[in-house]
């Protein structure tokens, strides 16, 4: 396959970036999208040019670090697929592909396609934990009965990998889907009730401090989420927040 790439190049958050075009003549259909960028970088390095910086780790669709916008969509055109699991067979010979970093004020560009998503870490640190016995004599997990429906919903919320696609898809760059998933996975379990009030208040406060926008209620976040995190979690967060605010 022959592919033309339009790639966003930017030295750092304070520098002006620009699109740079590259032509690749030997792209195999079974390559992953990141392997294709590896091939591009090998060519650039052989020419003595700067390789395209991009983030990646497991390349198995579970770490969430391969955050890039491909042809205007977070992680690319394939539904519920991370960029690392997207394959070049999803494109056609002669296609032009535009690759950009996630766009959000709370996700400043580090370099090229890499953005700083540490805002998500700070939101989790604000309340994404439960009280546990760490004295060396913890209670067995099966000692507390949990309804299967609640356990399933909690597990589904916990599948959020924190990639930031929800933020990139939202016209207000809202982090409500991410924050609601982290609130929900504990709000649904008895172990999460001790910090329930402070958790939602602190996490929402931190989300606002990081500069994320308000929820637009358009549902673009759920559509582009590679793990299919449900909008129901946002409704649950709103209920938890209202309840906590009345108790405050």
For the stretch 174-183, pLDDT in tens is 999 999 999 9
pLDDT at 136: 76
Return the closest-CA partner of residue 86 out of 124, 34, 43, 127.
Answer: 34
Domain with CATH 3.10.20.30 in the chain: 3-111
Helix axis angle, 118-127 relative to 196-209, nearest 10°? 160
- For residue 138, the model assigns a pLDDT of 73
pTM to 2 decimal places: 0.93
- Where does residue 110 rank: exposed (0-12), middle (13-18), buried (19+ CB within 10 A)? middle
Q: Which two tokens stand for residue 146?
A: 């949990």
Residue 221 has pLDDT above 80, yes or no: yes
Q: Give pLDDT, residue 213.
A: 96
pLDDT tens, residue by residue, 119-153: 999 999 999 988 877 677 777 777 888 999 999 99
Give the model's pLDDT for residue 142.
Answer: 78
Which one of 1.10.1060.10, 1.10.3720.10, 3.40.50.150, 1.10.10.60 gives the CATH number of domain 117-247?
1.10.1060.10
Residue 204: which of 229, 176, 230 has the closest Cα? 176
Measured CA to CA, the distance from residue 177 to residue 162 in angstroms comes to 10
The per-residue pLDDT for range 9-59, each reduced to its tens digit, is: 999 999 999 999 999 999 999 999 999 999 999 999 999 999 999 999 999
Domain with CATH 1.10.1060.10 in the chain: 117-247
- Cβ count near 63 (within 10 Å): 16
pLDDT in tens, 80-93: 999 999 999 999 99
Across the range 165-175, mean pLDDT stands at 97
- Please state, in angstroms and rounded to a whole number, the distance separating the CA atoms of residues 228 and 61: 13
CATH superfamily of 3-111: Beta-grasp domain (3.10.20.30)
Distance CA 205, CA 185 (A): 18
User: What is the DSSP-derived secondary structure letter of residue 179?
Assistant: H
What is the structure's pLDDT at 77?
96
CB distance 150 to 188 below 8 Å: yes
- Give 47-81 pLDDT, tens digit per residue: 999 999 999 999 999 999 998 999 999 999 999 99
pLDDT at 79: 94
Quick: pLDDT tens for 181-214: 999 999 999 989 999 999 999 999 999 999 999 9
């Amino acid at each position: 396959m022959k592919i033309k790439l339009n790639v966003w190049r930017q030295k750092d958050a304070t520098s002006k970036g620009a699109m740079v075009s590259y032509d690749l003549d030997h792209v195999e259909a079974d390559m992953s999208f990141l392997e294709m960028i590896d091939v591009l970088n090998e060519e650039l390095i052989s020419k003595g040019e700067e390789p395209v910086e991009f983030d990646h780790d497991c390349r198995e669709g579970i770490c969430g670090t391969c955050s890039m916008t491909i042809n205007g969509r977070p992680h690319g055109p394939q539904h519920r697929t991370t960029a690392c699991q997207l394959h070049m067979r999803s494109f056609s010979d002669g296609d032009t592909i535009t690759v950009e970093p996630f766009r959000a004020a709370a996700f400043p560009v580090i370099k090229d396609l890499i953005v700083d998503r540490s805002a998500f870490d700070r939101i989790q640190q604000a309340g994404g934990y439960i009280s546990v016995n760490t004295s060396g004599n913890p209670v067995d997990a099966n000692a507390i009965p949990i309804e299967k429906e609640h356990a399933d919903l909690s597990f589904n919320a916990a599948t959020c990998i924190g990639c930031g696609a929800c933020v990139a898809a939202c016209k207000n760059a809202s982090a409500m889907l991410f924050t609601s998933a982290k609130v929900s996975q504990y709000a649904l379990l008895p172990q999460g009730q001790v910090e329930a009030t402070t958790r939602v208040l602190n996490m929402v406060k931190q989300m606002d401090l990081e500069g994320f926008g308000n929820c637009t209620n358009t549902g673009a976040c759920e559509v582009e989420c590679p793990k299919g995190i449900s909008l129901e979690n946002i409704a649950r967060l709103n209920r938890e927040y209202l309840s906590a605010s009345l108790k405050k």
